[in-house]
């Protein structure tokens, strides 16, 4: 039995179901039925526009975002799918904050709902720094299917890790 690192924290009956899907070579079919195409947001500018649009829709009064981009240095194996960085700098007698969001490059070929789930997660960090109840409530406010998308995204990463790409 393979080590399914992306779904380790899930109940054993769910892990068993995923293992059966892999053994029967049905995981790709399941994912393609739910998410038939990858998104078209390939450039840094398009990603920035997408993130700002979501931010303006749900978090108008939050701090501005100075940079958004894909980052090939983010390693999903280190449990990071995206990063929200917060940098404080002194400007004269004022403290200025810069917020940056970086998304793992592996998600350039992912379905749009997965990208949205990751962006929503990183945007939620503008208000809530920790992964607490309020954080996940905010994520679910911005994306009602947040938890299902997170599970499906973990199945997608499992497929990438064990079998290979889904979209040729």
Using CB atoms within 10 Å of the CB of residue 9, give its burial: 0 to 12 exposed, 13 to 18 middle, 19+ buried: exposed
Query: What pLDDT is stored for residue 86 in this prediction?
Result: 55
What pLDDT score does 93 carry? 75
**What are the tokens at 104?**
């793992």
What residues contact 76, with CB distance under 8 A and at least 6 apart? Answer: 104, 106, 157
Q: Tell me which DSSP letter residue 71 carries.
A: E
From CA 129, how far away is CA 30, in angstroms rounded?
Answer: 34
Mean pLDDT (the chain, rounded): 88
Residue 140 CB coordination number (10 Å): 14
What gap in Å lies between CA 73 and CA 47, rounded to an integer? 17
DSSP 109: G
Mean pLDDT of 130-155: 96
- Which conformational region is residue 92 in: left (phi greater than 0), alpha (psi within -120 to 50 degrees), or beta? left
36/80: higher pLDDT = 36
- At 16-56, the pLDDT tens digits run 999 999 999 999 999 999 999 999 999 999 999 999 999 99
Q: Give mean pLDDT, residues 60-74.
A: 86
pLDDT digits (tens, 9 = 90+) for 104-120: 888 999 999 999 999 99
Supply the pLDDT for residue 13: 95
Every domain of the chain and the residues it spans: 12-163
CA distance 28 to 19: 13
Evaluate if residue 79 carries a pLDDT over 70: no
């Amino acid at each position: 039995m393979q080590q399914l690192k992306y779904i380790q924290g899930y109940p054993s009956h769910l892990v068993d179901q995923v293992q059966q899907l892999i053994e029967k070579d049905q995981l790709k079919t399941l994912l393609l039925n739910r998410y038939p195409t990858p998104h078209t947001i390939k450039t840094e500018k398009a990603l920035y526009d997408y993130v700002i649009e979501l931010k303006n829709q749900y978090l108008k009064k939050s701090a501005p975002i100075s940079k958004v981009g894909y980052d090939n240095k983010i390693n999903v194996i280190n449990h990071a799918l995206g990063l929200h960085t917060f940098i404080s700098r002194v400007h004269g007698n004022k403290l200025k904050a810069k917020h940056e969001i970086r998304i793992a490059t592996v998600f350039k070929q992912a379905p749009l709902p997965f990208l949205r789930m990751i962006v929503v997660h990183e945007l939620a960090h503008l208000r809530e720094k920790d992964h607490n109840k309020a954080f996940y409530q905010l994520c679910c406010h911005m994306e009602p299917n947040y938890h299902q998308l997170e599970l499906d995204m973990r199945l997608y990463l499992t497929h990438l890790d064990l079998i290979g790409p889904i979209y040729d």
